[in-house]
């Protein structure tokens, strides 16, 4: 055999795993169907501005080991994500906190805010069974109607009553005047974007770009003892048990001749009528860079949710009960194969970057013990 491991996919999971296996003396080969490494964290510098090509990526974690690990490869600058929600021109701070409650209701104290929410909660009682019930029980009807319902239904392409409650619990709810979108201990963005991280992880490792494993799987597999697959698990099995559902996305990048278009890195558009969910202005991910701020050019990206069809990039797994049950069937089939599945698509899990790194490090450990 020419290689100990063939890794399919050069996203963050593949990069960390490849690095660790290579560092442990294993012979590693990586194939990637896109024309570049990095998967969805890839960035590209345009007009001096690191552009997050696949949507806003903010590294946040409470896992000390993961934070120390990524900082070995690249310097991070401090960045606190504080998005602004735009509902038909009305602006509200996110995540849901005292600023939002003041803007929505004019309440000034936590006690007043709690009272207001409690008065709007009566519509839902008992353990929330879906996203709508969960949202109303957390923040009441007004915030649900203006800041959650439209955004969520366009993001996921279905009614909030048909979505799992956990999705909305990703967002912090606070009774303080604090617009930090995350509760994690560490938060930041790599200087110059994510490509430095990926490049350093892949140092010394052979990567074949524009190469789809599935087009030539027998030959690739013949050359390696083990295969680790970070693409979609149902696609690997040629959808033999049926299709898992995903959400697709379309990104529209635009260069605009102004220094500062929206004054914030991430603006969420929560009305159903606006076809996109987020507009990001990339230069604001680099708040310490005064020269960039003054430059009379900016790059913005609108993020349009889309139905996913075979052949499209899959961005979000839809982790409801039906899909979860189908995923378990694929996972059982995978257990009898020589291949290991990992990453957001391989494990069909809504992993953030820190979890992705944690899972890749754990897998590397078991494979090198
Ligand atoms: P991917 O990046 O999807 O990499 C998989 C790679 O495998 C891809 O490059 C793909 O082309 C390749 N591949 C698939 N099939 C094949 C095949 N058959 N042959 C060859 N190659 C193949 N996380 C955060 O922590 N903070 C954020 O702010 C954040 N924002 C996000 C915003 C958006 C819009 C999205 C979609 C995700 C966001 N995430 C964020 C999550 C983050 O992107 C993921 O945790 C991370 O990218 C997962 O890495 P991965 O390697 O598992 O997957
Ligand atoms: N959400 C919302 N309004 C917002 C932002 C988020 O209703 O302005 C909901 C929506 O259902 C979304 C979920 O909260 O899918 C999680 O949001 P997050 O920002 O974590 O999503 P991601 O960055 O993973 O797309």
Does the C-beta of 135 come closer than 6 Å to ligand 2? no
Over residues 333-339, the mean pLDDT reads 88
Q: Is residue 331 part of a domain?
A: yes
Radius of gyration of the chain (CA): 22
Residue ending a domain, choose from 168, 194, 225: 168
- Given the structure tokens 């991070």, which residue do they identify? 76
Domain carrying residue 322: 3-77+186-243+316-368
| pLDDT classification of 338: cutoffs 50, 70, 90 | confident
Q: Is residue 22 part of a domain?
A: yes
Does the C-beta of 15 come closer than 6 Å to ligand 1? no
Return the best residue to mutate from 88, 91, 145, 170 for the ligand 2 pocket (most ligand atoms within 8 A of CB).
170
The predicted pLDDT at position 323 comes to 96
Q: Are residues 217 and 321 in the same domain?
A: yes
Does the C-beta of 351 come closer than 6 Å to ligand 1? yes
- Given the structure tokens 């990104």, which residue do they identify? 251
Is the pLDDT assigned to residue 79 strictly greater than 90? yes
298 backbone dihedrals φ, ψ, rounded to 5°: -140, 155
The predicted pLDDT at position 336 comes to 82
Q: Is residue 206 part of a domain?
A: yes
Q: What is the mean pLDDT of the chain?
A: 96
CATH code, 349: 3.40.50.720
Does the C-beta of 170 come closer than 6 Å to ligand 2? yes
Over residues 258-278, the mean pLDDT reads 98
Q: Is residue 219 part of a domain?
A: yes
How deeply is 31 buried, as exposed, middle or buried, from its count of CB atoms within 10 A (0-12, 13-18, 19+)? buried
The predicted pLDDT at position 33 comes to 97
Q: Rounded to whole angstroms, how far apart are CA atoms 82 and 92?
A: 11
- Given the structure tokens 């024309």, which residue do they identify? 35
Preceding peptide of 358 cis, ω within 30°: no
Residue ending a domain, choose from 142, 168, 194: 168
Over residues 324-335, the mean pLDDT reads 96
Helix 98-105 × helix 110-121 angle, to 10°: 70
Starting from the CA of residue 169, give the closest ligand: 2
| pLDDT classification of 121: cutoffs 50, 70, 90 | confident
* 206 part of the active site: no
pTM exceeds 0.85 for this model:
yes
Q: What DSSP assignment string belongs to 274-316?
A: SS-SEEEEGGGG-TT-HHHHHSS-EEEEEEEEEE--TTSPP-E
Residue ending a domain, choose from 168, 198, 230: 168
Domain count, the chain: 2
Is the pLDDT assigned to residue 125 strictly greater than 70? no
């Amino acid at each position: 055999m020419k290689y100990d491991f063939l890794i399919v996919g050069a996203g963050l999971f593949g990069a960390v795993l490849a690095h660790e296996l290579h560092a442990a003396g294993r012979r590693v080969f990586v194939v990637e169907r896109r024309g570049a490494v990095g998967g969805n964290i890839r960035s590209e510098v345009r007009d001096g501005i690191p552009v997050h090509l696949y949507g806003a990526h903010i590294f946040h974690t409470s896992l000390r080991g993961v934070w120390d690990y990524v900082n070995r490869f690249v310097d991070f600058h401090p960045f606190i994500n504080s998005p602004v929600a735009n509902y038909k021109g009305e602006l509200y701070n996110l995540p849901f906190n005292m600023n939002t409650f003041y803007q929505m209701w004019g309440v000034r104290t936590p006690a007043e805010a709690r009272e207001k929410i409690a008065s709007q909660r009566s519509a839902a009682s008992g353990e929330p069974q879906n996203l709508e019930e969960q949202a109303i029980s957390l923040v009441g009807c007004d915030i649900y109607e203006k800041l959650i319902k439209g955004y969520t239904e366009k993001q996921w392409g279905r009614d909030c009553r048909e979505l799992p409650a956990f999705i909305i619990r990703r967002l912090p709810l606070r009774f303080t005047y604090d617009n930090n979108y995350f509760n994690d201990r560490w938060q930041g963005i790599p200087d110059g974007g994510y490509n430095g991280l990926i490049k350093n992880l892949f140092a010394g490792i052979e990567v074949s770009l524009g190469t789809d494993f599935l087009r030539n799987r027998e030959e690739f597999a013949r050359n390696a003892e083990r295969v680790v697959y970070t693409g979609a698990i149902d696609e690997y099995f040629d959808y033999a048990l049926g299709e898992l559902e995903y959400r697709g996305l379309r990104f529209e990048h635009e260069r605009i001749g102004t220094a500062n278009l929206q004054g914030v890195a991430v603006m969420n558009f929560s009305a159903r009528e606006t076809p996109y969910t987020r507009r990001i202005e990339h230069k604001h991910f680099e708040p310490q860079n005064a020269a960039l701020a003054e430059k009379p050019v900016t790059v913005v990206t609108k993020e349009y949710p889309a139905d996913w069809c075979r052949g499209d990039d899959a961005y979000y797994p839809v982790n409801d009960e039906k899909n979860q049950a189908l995923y378990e069937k694929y996972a059982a089939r995978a257990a009898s194969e020589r291949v290991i599945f990992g990453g957001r698509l391989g494990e069909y899990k809504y992993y953030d970057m820190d979890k992705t790194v944690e899972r890749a490090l754990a897998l590397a450990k078991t494979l090198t013990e």
